Amino acid sequence: MRGPHNIIRLIRTGATFERTGAMKVVLDAFDAGPLLRMTIRTLVWPFQWLGYKGDVNMPPATRALTALGPAYIKFGQVLSTRPDVVGDDLAVQLRVLQDKLPPFSMDEAKAAIQRELGAPTDTLFSTFSEPVAAASLAQVHKAHLADTGEAVAVKVLRPGIEKAFRKDVDAFYFAARAIEVLSPASRRLRPMDVITHFEGVVAGELDLRLESSAAAEFAANTEGDTGFQVPLIHWHLSGRRVMTLDWAEGDSIGDNAALDAAGHDRTALASRVLQLFLNHALRDGFFHGDMHQGNLKVAANGDIIAYDFGIMGRIDEYTRRVYAEILFGFIRKDYQRVAEVHFEAGYVPANQDVDEFARALRAVGEPIFGMDASHISMARLLSYLFEVTERFGMETRTELILLQRTMVVVEGVARSLDPHMNIWQVAKPVVESYIKQSIGPKALLRDLGKTAMVLSRFGPQLPRLAEEALIRRNNPQPQPKPPSLAHQLGWMTLGGALVGAGVWISALL
């Protein structure tokens, strides 16, 4: 229910940050000014008694996000890959969220497996370990198949996770609606659409049958990728709440000391992880949407192993070409072409000045060319990018949210391996290869051939479809109005409104 009761949830968010000490950690990480600190603390401090206590043995930020639930944990997982944005200390704290959360009991895990697979754990597996990793939505056990002795990973959803996630998403919806009402300028960022997209993406993680299917498709697409592995699914031992796949043996890609001790080349790994992501996004249009350190290992032979396929991204051919042209334009420093592509794709309103937009893009690109990653402040860069989108009236592209978020995460993983990596030099060969194959005379002929095939298949139906379209145009159906916020916000005092919005904003900082 997306009603006023969610204000309590949002106030509790800020109160939990204050009670656990995470508020100061976050404000310090983002180098917040005195006025912002005073405003947030004034709004939140009186309500800290409403905050969750959390696990006192955890660092403050991890303690707060863990206490608040799975949706907040997901947010922390993304920030954990960005030490350049949140600082090294906070990034280390948040990295615990990737796969080191408190597990649920063995009895609950075995009961879930028996309910899902219809047989006791002892019958299916010759060994079944204590949890080896526990994340926000599920935990993983190492086991050996009873019939073959093969080592496998068994993933089991947390009990009651669906209800907990629903509660968080309801609060996010209310916050997004309240922000749109209280701050009309925020509507261009389409916060409601962003939350809807987030809900759809994570909902896919709550049905492990969908994750198994995604893993199988991803494995087929990447079968020929050198230096990359995807564990295979054991379908007969998988269901909605349980998934079994090959065991991935290796060092975490986030453990630099272990990688160095094993003799792996971290510079090569950094380049490969970025190029693999670009290949999957551009070549296949199907990419791993959660490529943080907790979901990547490095095998003894140096191969990168990916797992946890609950969040996968898919982009159509047109969007891939637009994305590639934008990247290629930045690589060549052709800011005019980058600006034109934005206008052609409709990412910038047509009433804006393309030359002015190109000049703004040059101010984004020039400071980061010819510099290694250790000298680039992503926090400042992202801040300026936000100013550019606001100045030119650019709306949030919900179909690109996951792609953009994953790009940020992957780039953060690569920087953690090699702080001196030149992102553009690494990306150049992949983008150039895709441009040659997808844009040009050969690509045009290929597109025309696909169009002809579609027309030949649906040609006999075109007259009927055209007639139906004309009828709908001439007799439009009334569209239902969105639900009013009057019953949700009418009872709120001005102070209540400010507290609700202020706490939400503080939670996102």
What pLDDT is stored for residue 31 in this prediction? 64
pLDDT at 191 over 80: no
Average pLDDT score over residue span 335-351: 88
| Segment among 161-165, 175-179, 375-379, 452-456 with least mean pLDDT | 375-379
| Segment among 205-214, 297-306, 478-487 with least mean pLDDT | 478-487
Domain-wise residue ranges, the chain? 6-101+498-508, 252-439, 443-470
Higher pLDDT, 273 or 389: 273
What pLDDT is stored for residue 127 in this prediction? 96
pLDDT at 487 over 60: no
Distance, in Å, from the CA atom of 484 to the CA atom of 49, rounded to the nearest integer, reads 32
Identify whether 290 is a catalytic site residue. yes
Average pLDDT score over residue span 167-188: 72
Secondary structure element (H or E) that encloses residue 202, with its range: helix 191-203
| Segment among 175-189, 197-211, 259-273, 288-302 with least mean pLDDT | 175-189
What is the torsion angle, in degrees rounded to the nearest 10, for the CA atoms of residue 277, residue 322, residue 176 and residue 59?
20
3-state secondary structure of 101: coil
pLDDT at 503 over 70: no
Handedness of CA 462, 464, 467, 469 (dihedral sign): negative
Using pLDDT thresholds of 50, 70 and 90, give the confidence band for residue 420.
Answer: confident
Distance, in Å, from the CA atom of 148 to the CA atom of 153, rounded to the nearest integer, reads 14
What pLDDT is stored for residue 421 in this prediction? 84
What pLDDT is stored for residue 48 in this prediction? 78
pLDDT at 131 over 90: yes
Residue carrying structure tokens 């043996």: 249
pLDDT at 358 over 70: yes
Which residue in 290, 308, 372, 447 is the catalytic one? 290
Question: Would you state the structure tokens that stand for residue 306, as one six-digit string?
Answer: 């990916």
| Beta carbons of 176 and 6 less than 8 angstroms apart | no
Using pLDDT thresholds of 50, 70 and 90, give the confidence band for residue 168.
Answer: confident
Over residues 171-180, the pLDDT tens digits come to 778 777 776 7
What pLDDT is stored for residue 418 in this prediction? 92
Nearest CA to 173 among 98, 71, 81, 89?
71
Average pLDDT score over residue span 153-165: 89
Using pLDDT thresholds of 50, 70 and 90, give the confidence band for residue 486.
Answer: very low
What pLDDT is stored for residue 500 in this prediction? 34
What pLDDT is stored for residue 468 in this prediction? 80
